Amino acid sequence: MRVQSRSRRTIALATGVALSFSLLAACSDANSNRSGNNGGGGDGVLNVGMPNGPQANNSNPLLETSAGASLGYRAVVYEPLVMTNGIAPEQEGTPWLAEEWSWNEEFTELVLTVREGPTWSDGEAFDAEDVAFTFQLLKDHPGLNTGAIPFEEISQDGNQVRLTFGSSQFVNQVKIYQTFIVPEHIWSQVDNPETYEDQEPVGTGPYTLKTFTPQTVTLTRRDSYWQELPEVEELRYTSYNDNNAATTALSNGELEWSYVFIPNYEDVYLSHDPEHFNLWFPTGLGIHGLWINTEREPFDDVVLRQAMNLAVDRQAIHEQGHAGAFPVVESPTGLPLPAGDSFLAPEYQGVTVERDVEAARALLEENGYGYEGDTLLTPEGEPVTMTLVDPAGWSDYLTSLSVISDNLAEIGIEAAVETATVDGWRNTVDAGGFDATLHWTNGGATPYDSYQHVMDGTLYKPIGEASAGGNFGRFQSEVADAALQEYANATDDAARTEAMNELQRVFVEEVPMIPTVASPIGAEFSTRNWVGWPTEEDPYAPPQPTQRNALQIVLNLEPADG
């Protein structure tokens, strides 16, 4: 791989916690009176939406492919044990269904003190048995255990639940805290929880399902919630067919809260009501990139992946695909900077990936590849072709795939761009039925979460079997697996640092995915009808409506007219 050392000053494009969106959002007066109603605040309704197309009637909170996950409404029906802040991971979590929690020194045992008082929305009492049952459910059903948490013993005594593990769970703390708890009295009767559609969801959250259609899901507030009732009486979740439809709804005030890519957002969205329309897109350590199926020929050849990495124009993806909003990932390690500066291995400090088509072609020819006209041939003489796939309507990803297709053509690879429904795409990605796809990585308090999502061999499944927890590219590396284990089980910072350095080396040399841009956890929101949103000045939660913190946000909202 050809990399060049460059002054840190030249990569300042990778901004820190908040993008320029936050500056625009700060211009809005969060306490101003609403201008018009459009079906919100004044009648107790909040309109939420995502550009994810028609939804199947599935509210299973433990499935990432359900409508509840896709639109985000699972977070206001079901609740976690602890509420953590993804844009400030150093903060201690907020007690939620657990009042207290404590680990042993080795992070192999967790004791949860479960809150007394909440009830399920069907009137049944919530208790520690529900918590123990939920974790047992994850242990017994790998398809639901998307975090691949290695549970050993799960026990309950009074209002305490004790979890033990065969290895340190230092890196999995947040995943455990954020588990949605489900009612034992209902789920114990379910034959197969991994396919359960949960069409009449019963949770401890403040909302219940009122109506479901493939386009719109309506939730209504219940009176028996254990905390102070939210001001929002009804939540209407609309699933728009694409980014353009969602943007139009945002611009005319029909949609009040969303996470959607908007090119030229100042003119297309903010200018329609600069007093009330806002964007805030804080970033962390997660990224977007091209996941490559490393188990499909010829992409199982690291040389081909290295050449593809050299050919991809990250700057064009940043400008054309993401309208300059998502910072370029220039470090070959995939770490967004400066957020990842403190984790960089010494050999990669000040180093950036340089796009170099000539070097990519030379690398291929040096390793037995050839050309027939403009077509790249494998060492066995077969033309290299591939399909790039992402959901229809995700215009930022599709524009980026078009850029990548053009880039790969320069080194002789014919890369066709195809689209799918969101559900179809997710199922395809989980099962490894693709050549390459743009997808995000997990984020967390350290880069471990991102690397684990991409490279963890314990998540490996043969093509055709779902790997919902990650490693969609079926990447296998004993070195990466060992480094992940070493980082997770380290007892001091020096050991963690060396393991993190090794993970970076594997990522750079083996190219399991091609990083492109940083991954904000952002949202568009309107203060016409509702105020109290998280902002750069008050970053109490990531603003994206599909995060677990969506419940925190709804509980914090107040009518704009007081």
Radius of gyration of the chain (CA): 23
How far is it, in rounded angstroms, from Cα 511 to Cα 365?
19
Q: Which helix (H) or strand (E) holds 309?
A: helix 302-311
Among 175, 178, 172, 136, which Cα is nearest to 153's?
Answer: 136
Q: Which residue has the higher pLDDT, 469 or 127?
A: 127
Q: Which two tokens stand for residue 88?
A: 């400030």
How far is it, in rounded angstroms, from Cα 541 to Cα 94?
11
- pLDDT tens-digit series, residues 391-430: 998 989 999 999 999 999 999 999 999 999 998 999 999 9
- Average pLDDT over the chain, rounded to an integer: 91
Model pLDDT, residue 138: 97
Is the separation of the CB atoms in 80 and 548 below 8 Å?
yes
For residue 239, list its beta bridge partners: 50
- List of E strands, 98-201: 98-103, 109-114, 151-157, 160-165
How far is it, in rounded angstroms, from Cα 547 to Cα 89?
14
CA angle 261, 262, 265 (to 5 degrees): 145
Which of 145-149, 201-205, 297-301 bottoms out in mean pLDDT, i.e. has the lowest?
Answer: 145-149
How far is it, in rounded angstroms, from Cα 166 to Cα 151?
8
How far is it, in rounded angstroms, from Cα 29 to Cα 32?
5
- pLDDT tens-digit series, residues 361-377: 999 999 999 999 999 99
Answer yes or no: is pLDDT of 12 > 50.
no
- pLDDT tens-digit series, residues 290-336: 999 999 999 999 999 999 999 999 999 999 999 887 889 999 999 99
Is the separation of the CB atoms in 449 and 472 below 8 Å?
no
Among 303, 335, 321, which Cα is nearest to 405's?
Answer: 321
Enumerate the H helices of 33-157 as residue ranges: 67-71, 74-77, 128-140
Residue type, 505: R
How far is it, in rounded angstroms, from Cα 532 to Cα 221?
19
Q: What is the DSSP letter of 110?
A: E
- Phi–psi pair at 487, nearest 5 degrees: -65, -45
